[in-house]
Each structure stands twice: as C-alpha cells, then as structure tokens.
Amino acid sequence: MPGLDYEVLLEAAVAEVLESMCFLSVNPDISSEEESRTIWVNRRVDFRGPTQGSFGVAVKLPTAILIAGNFLGQEPEELTELQACEVVGEIANMVCGTLLAQVDPQAPFHLATPRAEEQSIALPNRITRSFVLDEGALFAWLELN
Amino acid sequence: MALNVLIVDDSPSMRKVIRRVLMLSGFDVASCQEAGDGIEALAILATAPMDIVLTDINMPNMDGEALVERLSSDPLLRQVPVLVISTDRSEDRLKRMLALGARGYVTKPFMPQALGAAMDKISKEARDARAGL
C-alpha cells in the first residue's frame, strides 16, 4: 500500500512480539550484515489478502536456541535444534500477523504455515531490517508481490 | 472444579506456551490435551469430554473457523466454550468468530495476563455449564 513506512512498521512488530512473548528487548541496528558462512535459521511466512507477499525472520542458530529458551521458559541446553527452528517459525508468524494488522487493520489476511527459507536474507526486492538483541542479531524481511 | 482443556494450534511451541501460561496462572486444570488442527481436535472431542477449547485460526486441514462452526452445530459440543487465540486482529474476523459461537478472542502476541483474564471469564462459563446452570 502506498504511503506506508514498512521499515517502521517492521520495527514495531518485531519489538512487540519479542518483548511480549520472549521478554527480550530489541533495538534496530543499521550496521549488521548477513554473514554468508554462518548457519542461519531463516523462516518465512507467505501471506495473502489485500496485499500478497512473504515475510521472514532470520537468526543464527545459537541465537535461535536462546530465543526459544525464553519463549518456552526452558533452559537452552534442554532444547533441540528442531525446537529452536520451530520457535523461529512461530515468531515469524506472529510478527507477520502484527505487521499486516498495522498495514490494514480492517482486512483479514491468511498466513500460510511457516517454512524454511532457502534463499539469502537480503534480496533486491525485499525490505530488510536488522535488530540487536543481547542474544545476537535478528533480521526481518518483507517481500511484497 | 478442575477443567479439561483442549489446545488447538498447528505450532507445537505455541501449544507449549499456552499450556505453560495456564499452569503458571494457577488455573485448576484436570487435563490438557493438544491438537494440531481442527480434524485432530474433533477426534479428541469425540472420545474425551472437554470443558474449554482454545483454538488458533490459521491451521492446515481444518482451520479454526471451520472448527468453531462444527462445534456450534453440534448439540452437545456447542456447550463447550471456545476461546480463539490468533494472529488475525481484523475486526471482521473477530466479529465472525464471535458470531460463529466463540466466547472470547485473544490476539497473538499476548501478554500472559491477557490470556489469563480471558481464561478467567471463560472458565467461569465452563464451570457453570458443568454444574448445569
């Protein structure tokens, strides 16, 4: 939709989800860049409605495990990689829903089940924001069709 | 009176979070079962009496809207209060779910207190239903 500052909306949505569900404080970071040699947990949610597209969240695996520990109320060492990845998917789901509610509060959107994203985080047609958490960096991206 | 709760969400981690919030909020939960979609939920409801159903909307196979519709059309199951927990914040969806028979609606993300307050309200209805009021 024209006239919307998606980066600002993205920041607000990420902050709301991480603060309320994971009890994490998050700050936007303009300096982080994707490190190609690092293992990233990158999950995407495809959505359709008045606007169609995809949304994603990416974190390094150790960060995913720490976030998952906060989300589930468990110690990181109790969690598997699979559980951490699933939590990142659910975080992506909630941030996407929160973001879309800001884009068009009246319109119902359909969100697909989160899935692994194979592509690089920062593609030319994506709006990308990076965030700093105590637990590590988090990238959020939005791609509109 | 301890309540039998069914949590319906396609995210295992979200089901775990909801279960944890219920326990930490001090609700008297006799049993807590989980389902990944509406079809699994109906299968559980066919064999085990539940006092409250907490359901997501966006799920594969059978979504939350279809589930609430099915429950409302069943003479026995329509007595079971349903609380919707969803990322969808649209006014249209909220009105639709309440019109279909849901007794409450909590949006994700949620603070534990918000879910607790919604459960307080619905669990009173569930207890009244069990007591035949």
**A96: Cα separation from own chain's centroid:** 7
Inter-chain contact A71–B13, Cβ cutoff 8 Å? yes
Which tokens in the block code for residue B50? 């539940």
Residue A84: list chain B partners with CB under 8 A: none
Inter-chain contact B87–A94, Cβ cutoff 8 Å? yes
Residue B90 backbone dihedrals phi, psi, to 5 degrees: -70, 145
Q: What is the pLDDT of residue A33?
A: 55
Say which of A16, A72, A108 has its CB closest to residue B17: A72
Burial class of residue B78, CB neighbours in 10 A (0-12, 13-18, 19+): middle
CA-to-CA distance for B92 and B33, rounded, in angstroms?
A: 29
Q: What is the pLDDT of residue A5?
A: 87
Query: A12 — contact with chain B (CB < 8 Å)?
Result: no
**Reported confidence tier of residue A2, pLDDT bands at 50, 70, 90:** low
Say which of B87, B90, B92 has its CB closest to residue A111: B87
CA-to-CA distance for A22 and B111, rounded, in angstroms?
A: 10
pLDDT digits (tens, 9 = 90+) for B5-56: 999 999 999 999 999 999 988 888 999 999 999 999 999 999 999 999 999 9
Shortest alpha-carbon distance between residue B12 and chain A (Å): 8
pLDDT digits (tens, 9 = 90+) for A34-74: 555 567 899 999 999 888 999 999 999 999 999 999 999 99
Q: What is the pTM of this model?
A: 0.90
Inter-chain contact B110–A17, Cβ cutoff 8 Å? no
Query: B108 — contact with chain A (CB < 8 Å)?
Result: yes
CA-to-CA distance for B107 and B94, rounded, in angstroms?
A: 10
E strand segments, chain A: 27-29, 40-48, 53-60, 110-111, 115-116, 127-133, 136-144
**B91: Cα separation from own chain's centroid:** 19
Q: Which residues contact A35 (CB under 8 A, 6 or more apart)?
A: none
Inter-chain contact B11–A20, Cβ cutoff 8 Å? no
Minimal Cα distance from A105: which residue of B? B90
Report the complex ipTM: 0.87
pLDDT digits (tens, 9 = 90+) for B75-129: 989 999 999 999 998 888 999 999 999 999 999 999 889 999 999 989 888 888 7
